[in-house]
Amino acid sequence: MTALLATGDPLLAGEIDGGVILLVLLKTLIVFAIPLVLTALMIWVERKVHGDMSNRIGPNRAGPWGILQTLADGAKLFTKEGLIPERADRLVYRLAPYLSAVPAFLVFAVVPFGGDFNPRSDGTIDGTVTLLGNATFLQLFDAQPGILLVLVCSSVAVYGVMLAGWSSGSKYPLLGSVRATAQMVSYEAALGLSLVAVVLVSGSLSTHDIVAFQALPGRGLLPNWNLIVTGVVPFFVFFIAATAEMNRPPFDLTEAEQELVAGFNTEYSAIRFALFYIAEFMATITFGAVIATLFLGGPAGPDLGILPGWLWGTVWFFLKLAIFPFIWIWFRATLPRFRYDQLMDLGWKLMIPLSLGWILLLAAIRSADTVGTDGQRIGYLPAVYVGAGVLLAAVLLQASITVGRRRRELADLEVFD
Amino acid sequence: MGYLGGFRVTLRQMGQPRVTTEYPKEKRIKAERMHGRHVLNRYEDGMEKCIGCELCAGVCPARCIYVRGADNDPLDPVSPGERYGFVYEINYLRCIHCDLCVEACPTEAITESKLFEFSFVDRADAIYTKAELLVGDDGRPQQLPWEDWSDADDVAEDSSAWVRATAASGDARYVGKVAWSGELGFGVKEPELTVASYDELDDEEDAAEGKADVEALDGEVEVGDDHDHGDHGHGAPGAHL
Q: Is the pLDDT at A134 greater than 80, yes or no?
A: no
- How many C-beta atoms lie closer than 10 Å to residue B221's C-beta? 15
Q: Is the pLDDT at A180 greater than 70, yes or no?
A: yes
Is residue A333 less than 8 Å (CB to CB) from chain B? yes
CB contact under 8 A, B13 and A330: no
Bridge partners for A138 per DSSP: A114
- Average pLDDT taken over every residue of chain A: 84
Q: In angstroms, what CA-CA distances link B95 with A329, A340, B51?
A: 43, 45, 21
Q: Is the pLDDT at B181 greater than 70, yes or no?
A: no
Q: Measured between alpha carbons, how far is B179 from B203 in angstroms, rounded to an integer?
A: 20
B51 compared with B227, residue with greater pLDDT: B51
* Portion of chain B with pLDDT greater than 70, in percent: 62
Find which of A25-29, A134-138, B219-223 is predicted with most confidence, using mean pLDDT.
A25-29
* Portion of chain A with pLDDT greater than 70, in percent: 96
Q: Is the pLDDT at B29 greater than 50, yes or no?
A: yes
Interfacial A residues in 16-75 facing B (CB < 8 Å): 49, 51-57, 60
Q: Measured between alpha carbons, how far is B81 from B72 in angstroms, rounded to an integer?
A: 8
Sign of CA dihedral B169, B172, B175, B177: negative
What would the pLDDT profile of B93-115 be if each residue is shown by its tens digit?
999 988 888 888 877 788 887 78
Contact status, residue B141 vs residue B158, Cβ threshold 8 Å: no
Is residue A396 less than 8 Å (CB to CB) from chain B? no
Please list every residue in chain A whose beta carbon sits closer than 8 Å to the beta carbon of residue B18: 51, 55-57
Is residue A342 less than 8 Å (CB to CB) from chain B? no
Please list every residue in chain B whose beta carbon sits closer than 8 Å to the beta carbon of residue A60: 22
Sign of CA dihedral B86, B167, B33, B197: negative
Find which of A125-139, A205-219, A298-312, B143-157 is predicted with most confidence, using mean pLDDT.
A205-219
pTM of the model: 0.74
Q: Among A214, A246, A233, which residue's Cα sits nearest to residue A150?
A: A246
Q: What is the pLDDT of residue A240?
A: 92
Of the candidates A49, A52, A335, the beta carbon closest to that of B6 is on A335
Of the candidates B10, B19, B20, the beta carbon closest to that of A330 is on B10
Is residue A330 less than 8 Å (CB to CB) from chain B? yes
Please list every residue in chain A whose beta carbon sits closer than 8 Å to the beta carbon of residue B17: 55
Residue A139: is it exposed, middle or buried by C-beta count within 10 angstroms (0-12/13-18/19+)?
buried
Q: What is the pLDDT of residue A328?
A: 92
pLDDT band at B120 (very low <50, low <70, confident <90, very high): confident
Residue A190: is it exposed, middle or buried by C-beta count within 10 angstroms (0-12/13-18/19+)?
buried
Please list every residue in chain A whose beta carbon sits closer than 8 Å to the beta carbon of residue B20: 55-57
ipTM: 0.70
What would the pLDDT profile of A195-248 be if each residue is shown by its tens digit?
898 888 888 888 888 888 888 877 777 788 888 888 888 999 999 999 988 888
Query: What is the secondary structure of B103-135 as a DSSP string?
Result: HH-TTS-EEE-S---B--SSHHHHEE-HHHHB-
Q: Measured between alpha carbons, how far is B240 from B79 in angstroms, rounded to an integer?
A: 11
What structural domains does chain B harbor?
29-160 (3.30.70.3270), 163-226 (no CATH)
CB contact under 8 A, A56 and B18: yes
Is residue A319 less than 8 Å (CB to CB) from chain B? no
Mutation choice for B interface testing from A49, A52, A236, A240 by most B CBs within 10 A: A52
Nearest residue in chain A measured CA to CA from B18? A55
Q: What is the pLDDT of residue A118?
A: 75
Nearest residue in chain B measured CA to CA from A52? B14
pLDDT band at B169 (very low <50, low <70, confident <90, very high): very low
Contact status, residue B92 vs residue B144, Cβ threshold 8 Å: no
CA A231 to mean position of chain CA atoms: 19
**Phi, psi of A125, deg, nearest 5:** -120, 110
Contact status, residue A244 vs residue A348, Cβ threshold 8 Å: no
Q: Among B166, B159, B174, B87, which residue's Cα sits nearest to residue B127?
A: B87
A218 compared with A323, residue with greater pLDDT: A323
Of the candidates A55, A57, A60, the beta carbon closest to that of B13 is on A55
CB contact under 8 A, B19 and A56: yes
Bridge partners for A130 per DSSP: A135
Q: Is the pLDDT at B167 greater than 80, yes or no?
A: no
Q: What is the pLDDT of residue B176?
A: 55
Q: Measured between alpha carbons, how far is A254 from A175 in angstroms, rounded to an integer?
A: 8
Find which of A86-95, A308-317, B19-28 is predicted with most confidence, using mean pLDDT.
A86-95
What would the pLDDT profile of B51-94 be if each residue is shown by its tens digit?
888 999 999 999 999 999 999 888 888 888 888 988 999 999 99
Nearest residue in chain A measured CA to CA from B17? A55
Contact status, residue A343 vs residue A247, Cβ threshold 8 Å: no
Mutation choice for A interface testing from B1, B14, B21, B26 by most A CBs within 10 A: B14
As a residue count, chain B comes to 241
Q: Measured between alpha carbons, how far is A106 from A115 in angstroms, rounded to an integer?
A: 20
Q: Measured between alpha carbons, how far is A118 from A215 in angstroms, rounded to an integer?
A: 7
- CB contact set of A19 (below 8 Å; sequence gap of 6+): A132, A133, A134
SS3 content of chain B, % helix, strand, coil (to 5): 35, 10, 55
State which amino acid sits at residue A232.
Answer: V
A267 compared with B44, residue with greater pLDDT: A267
CB contact under 8 A, B10 and A334: yes
- Average pLDDT taken over every residue of chain B: 71
H or E segment at B233? none
A120 compared with A62, residue with greater pLDDT: A62
CA A249 to mean position of chain CA atoms: 15
Q: What is the pLDDT of residue A416?
A: 60
Find which of A122-126, A353-357, B19-23, B37-41 is predicted with most confidence, using mean pLDDT.
A353-357
Least confident stretch, A121-130, B3-12, B180-189: B180-189
Average pLDDT, integer, range A159-187: 87
Q: Among A104, A105, A98, A107, which residue's Cα sits nearest to residue A164?
A: A98
Can you give chain A as a three-state secondary structure string?
A: CHHHECCCCHHHHCCCCHHHHHHHHHHHHHHHHHHHHHHHHHHHHHHHHHHHHCCCCCCCCCCHHHCCHHHHHHHHHHHCCCCCCCCCCHHHHHHHHHHHHHHHHHHHHHCCCECCCCCCCCCCECCEEEECCEEEEECCCCCCCCHHHHHHHHHHHHHHHHHHHHHCCCHHHHHHHHHHHHHHHHHHHHHHHHHHHHHHHHCCCCHHHHHHHHCCCCCCCCCCCHHHHCCCHHHHHHHHHHHHHCCCCCCCHHHCHHHHCCHHHCCCCHHHHHHHHHHHHHHHHHHHHHHHHHHCCCCCCCCCCCCCHHHHHHHHHHHHHHHHHHHHHHHHHHCCCCCHHHHHHHHHHHHHHHHHHHHHHHHHHHHHHCECCCCCECCCHHHHHHHHHHHHHHHHHHHHHHHHHHHHHHHHHHHHC
Please list every residue in chain A whose beta carbon sits closer than 8 Å to the beta carbon of residue B11: 53, 330
CA distance B10 to chain A (A): 5
Bond into A299 cis (ω within 30) = no
* Portion of chain B with pLDDT greater than 90, in percent: 10
Average pLDDT, integer, range A166-176: 87
Q: Measured between alpha carbons, how far is A350 from A363 in angstroms, rounded to an integer?
A: 20
Q: Is the pLDDT at B1 greater than 60, yes or no?
A: no
CA distance A50 to chain B (A): 9
Please list every residue in chain B whose beta carbon sits closer than 8 Å to the beta carbon of residue A333: 10
Mutation choice for B interface testing from A45, A55, A328 by most B CBs within 10 A: A55
